[in-house]
């Protein structure tokens, strides 16, 4: 699990040389993955990528280390590893080069690359940490999940899963105003991501649910008048508010079956909003989508 108490500013980047290569790269990689980063002072792309990859390595907090090697000062090593252009990165694990790339990469590409290295080395990836946080939230551990999401955002402020997760913590705690304020402050790079769309829909649904009536009263109303589509719609919202997702979806599907165009297609719109607020692989969402598709194409 992520070390939430680790506030160290220690750097895991160092300068390498022919004299220290065996110790800093080969031997060190037997316990920790090491990036041998070949660069030069005259290399334009290196100047751009250097700070990015160094920052990304330091964010792993020691799960990966980086050794900078100037190709002009270390021509023998560059020749042995057949470095033909720079920047070039070799990944060493267990004393051997196992992966690498040539040419500049974006911050997102480097972070994804490093996450794979951490995973291969048996460490915990950011994705695994966030999955654990989501599981905590689902089981009611709002405070613990919130702490993890916030900690990840310190290092990865544009991670859509962490950002949406923290908003979800506010939603779970019924702090809809705070959730909405954070939603409005979403970084533009992730504002249209699936995760952010999901929490946006969830906030709208929770707002609707607050205005809905009693589930029991609405259910009785629909039983007495099955053609009351507005009452059935209100019942669906109330059921959603009561975490009876499948029952709420079924009521909306019934509205759609009876009259697809009712209230300008409100049932379908509401279904899509609910599906957007759920994980794509959620069995209830999958089942609901299949039923909706069946009704559309029947």
- Write down the catalytic residue from 25, 35, 46, 252: 46
Which H or E element spans position 276? helix 266-277
User: 171, 206 in Cβ contact below 8 A?
Assistant: yes
**DSSP three-state, residue 191:** coil
Active-site residue, 43 included: yes
Active-site residue, 169 included: no
b/e map 64-79, b = 16+ CB within 10 Å: bbbbbbbbeebeebbe
Report the C-alpha gap between 261 and 267 in whole angstroms.
8
- Write down the catalytic residue from 43, 71, 126, 161: 43
The phi and psi torsions of 37 (rounded to 5 degrees) equal -105, 110
For residue 297, give the DSSP letter.
Answer: -
b/e map 80-107, b = 16+ CB within 10 Å: ebebeebbbbbbbbeeeeeebeeebbee
User: 245, 201 in Cβ contact below 8 A?
Assistant: no
- Residues designated as active site: 43, 46
């Amino acid at each position: 699990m992520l070390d939430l108490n680790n506030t160290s500013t220690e750097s895991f980047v160092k300068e390498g040389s022919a004299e220290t290569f065996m110790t800093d790269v080969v031997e060190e990689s037997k316990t920790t993955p090491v990036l041998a980063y070949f660069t030069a002072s005259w290399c334009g792309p290196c100047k751009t990528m250097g700070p990015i990859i160094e920052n990304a390595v330091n964010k792993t907090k020691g799960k990966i280390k980086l050794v900078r090697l100037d190709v002009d000062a270390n021509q023998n090593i560059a020749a042995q590893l057949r470095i033909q252009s720079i920047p070039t990165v070799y990944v060493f694990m267990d004393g051997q080069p196992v992966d690498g790339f040539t040419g500049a990469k974006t911050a997102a590409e480097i972070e994804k690359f490093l996450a794979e290295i951490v995973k291969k080395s048996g460490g915990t990836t950011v994705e695994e940490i966030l999955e654990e946080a989501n599981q905590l939230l689902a089981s009611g551990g709002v405070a613990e999940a919130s702490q993890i999401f916030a900690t990840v955002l310190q290092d990865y402020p544009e991670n859509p899963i962490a950002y949406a997760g923290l908003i979800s913590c506010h939603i779970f705690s019924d702090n809809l105003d705070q959730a909405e304020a954070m939603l409005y402050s979403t970084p533009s790079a992730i504002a249209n991501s699936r995760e952010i769309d999901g929490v946006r829909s969830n906030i709208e649904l929770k707002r609707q649910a607050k205005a809905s009536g009693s589930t029991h009263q609405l259910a009785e109303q629909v039983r007495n008048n099955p053609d009351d589509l507005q009452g059935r719609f209100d019942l669906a919202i109330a059921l959603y508010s009561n975490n009876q997702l499948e029952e709420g979806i079924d009521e909306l599907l019934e509205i759609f079956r009876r009259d697809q165009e009712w209230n300008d297609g409100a049932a379908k719109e509401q279904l899509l909003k609910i599906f957007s607020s759920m994980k794509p692989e959620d069995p209830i969402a999958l089942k609901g989508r299949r039923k909706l598709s069946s009704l559309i194409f029947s």
